[in-house]
């Protein structure tokens, strides 16, 4: 992982456009090529980012560059980060204040417990609760960035990655996107699709999942455990 503190300007173009004026920020470059830009506030969420797979091209800015005068004074290089969808993240760097690279090694993956872990186990035993045509190939299917909760297969033989959450939010959709992108690179799996399965799913997560071509399924934890509340509702 590379961590850079730099005075930079950031512009994103894609489904929408976004502009961050010149200011000191943290740029995080991960081993998979993904890049995120952070401020010193705003909790853990980045101001802007580009997830893998993506390509970064660094262009030194010289006096002969046609872009001189169009960028803030002092910019010495421009990073252009693009993905397969044509989205582009442009980072214009005026000054690097600190630059640290550290090899974190292979992460063992997230260890889940509590309701989410139990929900995953129950769905592994009852994949038709997610969709009627699914069977489980493997639980905790390994990828270079962590295990997919459930790798399933349809009756027609198509593979489906299932991300299990207690509450389905945008972060869960982003996580599922990274897993599906990696799985699709395996020629033995083919065109893998994704499903976000959760006890409740936020509207924003549904919209993003639909945009990514993923399904969303709300599952009943108690029903999976065989608990019937119908009699309670009579009183």
Q: What pLDDT was estimated at residue 111?
A: 56
Nearest to 27 by CA among 84, 86, 72, 94: 94
Q: What pLDDT was estimated at residue 234?
A: 40
Q: What pLDDT was estimated at residue 62?
A: 81
Alpha helices for 109-160 (secondary structure H):
114-125
Residue 128 sits in the same domain as residue 75: no
Q: What pLDDT was estimated at residue 110?
A: 56
For the chain, what is the domain count? 2
CA 163/CA 158 separation, integer angstroms = 17
Q: What is the CATH number of the domain that holds 25?
A: 2.70.180.20
Domain membership flag for residue 46: yes
Q: What pLDDT was estimated at residue 43?
A: 64
Residue 9 sits in the same domain as residue 87: yes
Compute CA distances 146 → 140, 157, 183, whole Å: 9, 24, 12
Residue 120 sits in the same domain as residue 173: yes
Choosing from 101, 125, 160, the residue where a domain stops is: 101
Q: What pLDDT was estimated at residue 228?
A: 59
Q: What pLDDT was estimated at residue 231?
A: 47
Choosing from 101, 122, 148, the residue where a domain stops is: 101
Domain that holds residue 168: 114-224
92 contact partners, CB below 8 Å, separation of at least 6: 8, 9, 10, 11, 22, 61, 71, 72, 75, 77, 78, 79
Residue 159 sits in the same domain as residue 195: yes
Domain membership flag for residue 14: yes
Residue 145 sits in the same domain as residue 67: no
Residue 123 sits in the same domain as residue 156: yes
Q: What pLDDT was estimated at residue 179?
A: 95
Q: What pLDDT was estimated at residue 15?
A: 81
Residue 120 sits in the same domain as residue 209: yes
Domain membership flag for residue 235: no
Residue 159 sits in the same domain as residue 219: yes
* Low-confidence residues in the chain, pLDDT < 50: 113, 231-235
Against a cut of 0.85, is the pTM above it? no
Residue 164 sits in the same domain as residue 207: yes
What are the tokens at 181? 């992108």
């Amino acid at each position: 992982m590379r961590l850079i503190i730099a005075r930079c300007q950031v512009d994103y173009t894609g489904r929408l456009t976004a502009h961050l004026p010149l200011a000191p920020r943290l740029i995080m470059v991960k081993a998979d090529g993904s890049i995120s830009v952070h401020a010193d506030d705003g909790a853990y969420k980045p101001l802007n980012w580009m997830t893998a797979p993506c390509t970064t091209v660094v262009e030194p800015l010289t006096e002969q560059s046609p872009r001189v005068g169009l960028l803030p004074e002092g910019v010495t290089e421009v990073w252009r980060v693009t993905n397969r969808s044509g989205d582009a993240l442009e980072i214009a760097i005026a000054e690097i204040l600190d630059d640290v690279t550290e090899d974190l090694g292979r992460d063992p993956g997230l260890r889940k417990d509590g309701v989410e872990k139990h929900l995953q186990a129950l769905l592994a035993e009852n994949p038709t609760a997610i969709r009627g045509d699914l069977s489980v190939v493997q639980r905790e299917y390994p990828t270079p960035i962590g295990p997919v909760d459930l790798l399933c297969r349809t009756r027609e033989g198509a593979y489906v990655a299932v991300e299990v959450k207690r509450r389905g939010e945008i972060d869960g959709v982003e996580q599922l996107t990274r897993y599906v992108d990696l799985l699709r690179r395996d020629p033995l799996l083919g065109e893998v699709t994704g499903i976000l399965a959760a006890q409740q799913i936020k509207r924003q997560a549904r919209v993003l999942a639909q945009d990514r071509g993923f399904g969303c399924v709300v599952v009943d934890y108690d029903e999976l455990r065989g608990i019937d509340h119908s009699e309670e509702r009579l009183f």
